[in-house]
Structure 1
């Protein structure tokens, strides 16, 4: 499970931000994870308690926003969810499209009190 290593790195980065900005207490951390990202939100959530154990982030809440895997059809310019429509444009049935979103993995927000 590679999620644990990545979540530990996220926690390290958040701790650096907290220190650099002299934040007193972090309430929550929000991650954005794309539907096509290799990180599985469920496993990220399960790894989080181990990653923050013994740190000043131990009591923080982890929030996860899933970013849809959206594609843009090269034929008709329709934006559609690539997974829901099995990589075919629902408007013109084309298989030629470009990915707009869905591979993201980023820290969106660190909410402090």
Structure 2
């Protein structure tokens, strides 16, 4: 499980941001995780308390938004969800596509008190 290392880096990044901006407490931290990324959201949620313990984020609420794994079909140019359609365009059955989204891991929002 590499998520603990990922969350330690997120906490460090948010703490640096807070320090640079004179923020002493974070109310909410919003992360965006693509459904095709190698990061598992439930593990991120489980690791967050340990990563945040003893930091300004220890009382912070963590919110996770899951971003869909979408692709653009190279045959018919339609956008579709890769997972829902088992990597095949539902419009023309083509398996040749370009990924548009789904591998992201972003700090979307930091809400200070």
Query: Taking structure 1 as the reference length, what is the TM-score of the superposition?
Result: 0.98
For structure 2, the 5+ residue unaligned runs are: none
What is the aligned partner in structure 2 of residue 90 from structure 1?
A: 90
Corresponding residue of 1:35: 35
- Structure 1: which 5+ runs fail to align? none
Runs (4 or more) in structure 1 with deviation over 6 Å come to: none
2:60 aligned residue: 60
The CA deviation string for residues 6-28 of structure 1, in whole angstroms up to 9 with x for no partner, is 10000000000000000132101
Note the C-alpha offset of 1:57: 1.0
* Equivalent position SS for 2:100: strand
Task: Provide TM-score, normalisation by structure 2.
Answer: 0.98
Question: Aligned-pair RMSD on alpha carbons?
Answer: 0.6
